[in-house]
């Protein structure tokens, strides 16, 4: 079974620039060995945004899956071969495709957008339906 959380992320850079990431809020049950696509759209004025997929496993640990921008990408070791993305730069889509789904893929999956243009700390603002805006500093994943 794959659990998918829908959410919106607002990323602020130096209090001026903001990007929006949207996922559809659904829970999906998938047969082992099948293929699954998790949908993500984003809206940003960045010309070369950093795009990420993470997952929160059943043991509550967060796990980096992959990173991609217009010129390069990086996949976690476990994700190579079975995880890929369909990136529509014009449509601003960044869909995760999981081939040959396994039981250990059960998790809540998160799509995120950022920028490598500022080497300083970046503040992330997350807003989910019916909740107050909360703030956090991103951690984990590769540093471009």
The conformation of residue 131, written as its DSSP 8-state character, comes to S
Identify the residue whose tokens are 């995880």: 83
21-46 pLDDT per residue, tens: 877 767 888 889 999 999 999 888 77
The structure tokens listed for 18 are 């903001």
The structure tokens listed for 53 are 């997929």
Domains of the chain: residue spans and CATH:
2-136 (2.60.40.10)
Nearest one of 35, 8, 1 to 111, comparing CA atoms: 8
Q: Is the pTM of this model over 0.85?
A: no
């Amino acid at each position: 079974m794959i659990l998918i959380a829908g959410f919106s992320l607002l990323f602020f850079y130096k209090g001026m620039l903001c990007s929006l990431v949207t996922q559809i809020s659904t829970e999906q049950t998938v047969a082992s060995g099948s293929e699954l696509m998790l949908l993500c759209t984003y809206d940003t004025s960045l010309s070369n945004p950093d795009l990420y997929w993470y997952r929160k496993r059943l043991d509550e640990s967060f796990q980096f899956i992959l990173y991609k921008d217009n010129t390069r990408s990086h996949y976690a070791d476990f994700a190579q071969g079975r995880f890929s993305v369909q990136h529509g730069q014009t449509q601003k889509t960044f869909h995760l495709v999981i081939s040959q789904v396994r039981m250990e893929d059960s998790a809540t999956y998160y799509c995120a957008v950022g920028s490598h243009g500022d080497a300083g700390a970046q503040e992330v603002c997350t807003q989910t339906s019916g909740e107050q805006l909360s703030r956090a500093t991103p951690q984990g994943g590769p540093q471009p």
